[in-house]
Amino acid sequence: MADPPACCAACATCLLCPYSCQCITAKKEKRKGLRTTKCDCSWFLFLFCVFLFTLVWLYFAIIILNDFHNFNEFIFKQRKLWLDWSLVLLIATAVLITYSSVLLVLALCLQLCGQPLKLHWLHKILLILTALVVAAAFTGLGIKWAEEWRSARISLQATGPFLHIGVVGGMTLLAWPLASFVYRTRNTGLKVFLLLVYCAVMIALYLAPLGITSPCLMEENQLPPKPALVGHRGAPMLAPENTLMSLHKAVDCDVQVFETDVMVSADGVPFLMHDEELTRTTNVQAVFPERAALNSTAFNWTDLQQLDAGSWFLERRPFPTVQSLSAGDRHQATQQRIPSLGQALEAAKQSNISIMFDLRPENHSDYQSFVNATLAVILQSGIPLQQVLWLPDGFREQVKQQAPGVQQVYGRKRLQNEKEPLLHVNLPYQDMSSEEIRQYRQDNISVNLYVVNQPWLFSVLWCSGVSSVTTNACQVLKEMKHPIWLLPSSTYLMIWIVVDCVSFLTILWAFLLLKKCSHRRRPAESETDVLLTKINSLMQE
């Protein structure tokens, strides 16, 4: 389909070898008369699609890192195997995107050099496998982790303006191999089709900012106050979760609320624990192997005090930050025990921070007694009741009557016929849009969203005006003095116009330059073809 080109023979050979998996020179390819066929073009199009597919998956993989600790916990509950699966995800994704990227670059360079795009059968099989793996990953994400699609939509508010610039740049560079192919091919229909598709894509990209919205497109003086930090089970990146060490580390991170989970022991002592079983965050399998699978509430307080609630943190390393702990912190972690709610309330009172908690398990037959035991500890602790944020929905009216000073936090949005106005809501960050956050803020409703670990997500919620966020990474968000980016709408408009103009001029230059080069090459190629024809005739005579 394309005329034989003029290209550095050594360069062409270096490109042909890995792409076609054949150690032959470009001159031999030319003597064989090999050309890029329609089938070869189809495989190039498939390669391009696979590259885009893996690139989109790479974007998703980076976005879901914010919530990947939940996935690690889910796998542990199912398989009793702890591993930081985010590393596996990133390594596998990097391998796939690197492989497809290298093949695509080789193909584009071969096209610029005018060499035939003879993709080897092994690459074809690997590309099909790559597409299947990525498709399986997207399918699994949609089935088991559907809320991450909403996370991706939120991420576009943080990355949309920059993705637009990057995509426009990539498509602009693609003009060079496209122009080279257009000027070499003799198939007019294919030439017109490719040009129409390319022009349609570029026009859509040039106008894409009309649909790009972000709460961070605002003036500096419109930026809401920085959201308060709520320590998710304390500071779980710096200390074992739901321990007094974790609470104190959270205080060092300037958190205003310590978020935790409460269960009640068999003898009526409320204590801090998230999981229904003790296997993930204690050494219960070593101390009570025959009872390790029992619910946490089946143990009495004396038994619970015998468990080590910190060594697992050093052994399993739930977060990469564990490696950077000091020797003193490591020793302190090994000394941690399961704290009672009373101990946590005392520590919160001394540190002058609030405490917010869920009471688990809500489907337990003795749940009302759990509520009574928990209320009794709160009232006896002496902590100011306004520092206690009550999350459980069960027996909420009873709590209001016995402890009217406790702040009631609801895990739902307000209703149209709300009898009593909500003052505090606690929701997943995927469940509220920027517009809803602004409306709640105007109505003086405190909005806390969880779990927010990545600076890009914190920046979007900051610009939206959220009151507070629950985080595992309080030590990271504490250091943020400003959102990652903040642009006035007028500045973004100027960037948009400049990027589009530069892209258009670059594309125009690429087509004009390659057209001029193709005209210069044609007379020389015609003379060469005549000479080769004469030599061939003489040899036949």
Nearest to 375 by CA among 356, 390, 355, 393: 390
Q: Is 274:233 a contact under the CB 8 Å cutoff? A: yes
Instruction: Tell me if residue 184 falls in helix, strand or coil.
Output: helix
DSSP-based helix, strand, coil % in the chain, nearest 5: 60, 10, 30
Q: How far apart are alpha carbons 8 and 16 in whole angstroms? A: 12
Residue 2 has pLDDT above 50, yes or no: no
Q: Is the peptide bond preceding residue 392 cis, with omega within 30 degrees of 0?
A: no
- Please give the pLDDT value at position 124: 95
Nearest to 96 by CA among 71, 149, 151, 133: 133
Residue 526 has pLDDT above 70, yes or no: no
119-129 tens-digit pLDDT: 989 999 999 99
- Please give the pLDDT value at position 416: 84
Question: Residue 4 — pLDDT band, cuts 50, 70, 90?
Answer: very low
208-255 tens-digit pLDDT: 999 999 999 999 999 999 999 999 999 999 999 999 999 999 999 999
Amino acid identity at 230:
V
**Range name among 6-15, 94-103, 133-142, 424-433 with the lowest pLDDT average:** 6-15
Which pair of tokens denotes residue 446? 């405190």
Average pLDDT on 87-102 reads: 95
Q: Is the peptide bond preceding residue 50 cis, with omega within 30 degrees of 0?
A: no
**H or E segment to which residue 379 belongs:** helix 367-381
- Please give the pLDDT value at position 523: 54
3-state secondary structure string across 242-309: CCHHHHHHHHHCCCCEEEEEEEECCCCCEEECCCCCCCCCCCHHHHCHHHCCCCHHHCCHHHHCCCCC
3-state secondary structure string across 115-145: CCCCCCHHHHHHHHHHHHHHHHHHHHHHHHC
Q: How far apart are alpha carbons 150 and 148 in whole angstroms? A: 5
129-158 tens-digit pLDDT: 999 999 999 999 988 888 899 999 999 999
Q: Is 332:309 a contact under the CB 8 Å cutoff? A: no
Q: What is the DSSP letter of 310?
A: S
Sorted by where each begins, the domain ranges of the chain are 36-144, 151-213+486-518, 226-476
- Please give the pLDDT value at position 459: 98
In degrees and rounded to multiples of 5, residue 229 shows phi and psi of: -105, 135
In this structure, what is the dihedral angle of CA atoms 511, 512, 517, 522, given to the nearest 10 degrees? 90
Average pLDDT on 52-59 reads: 96
Nearest to 309 by CA among 232, 356, 246: 246
Mean pLDDT of the chain: 90
Amino acid identity at 111:
Q
Which pair of tokens denotes residue 457? 């997500």
Distant-in-sequence, close-in-space partners of 316: CB < 8 Å, separation ≥ 6 = 82
- Cα angle: 480, vertex 484, 486; to 5 degrees: 120
436-493 tens-digit pLDDT: 999 999 999 999 999 999 999 999 999 999 999 999 999 999 999 999 999 999 999 9
Average pLDDT on 149-170 reads: 95
- Please give the pLDDT value at position 154: 96
Residue 14 has pLDDT above 80, yes or no: no
Q: Report strand pairing: 468-471 vs 407-408.
A: unpaired
Q: What is the CA radius of gyration of the chain?
A: 31
Nearest to 389 by CA among 424, 414, 439, 365: 424
Amino acid identity at 508:
L
Question: Residue 187 — pLDDT band, cuts 50, 70, 90?
Answer: confident
In terms of pLDDT, which residue wins out, 18 or 304? 304
- Please give the pLDDT value at position 519: 66
Which pair of tokens denotes residue 247? 């609470």
| pLDDT more than 90, % of the chain | 76
Domain 226-476, CATH among 3.40.50.2020, 2.40.50.140, 3.10.20.30, 3.20.20.190: 3.20.20.190
Q: What is the pTM of this model?
A: 0.89
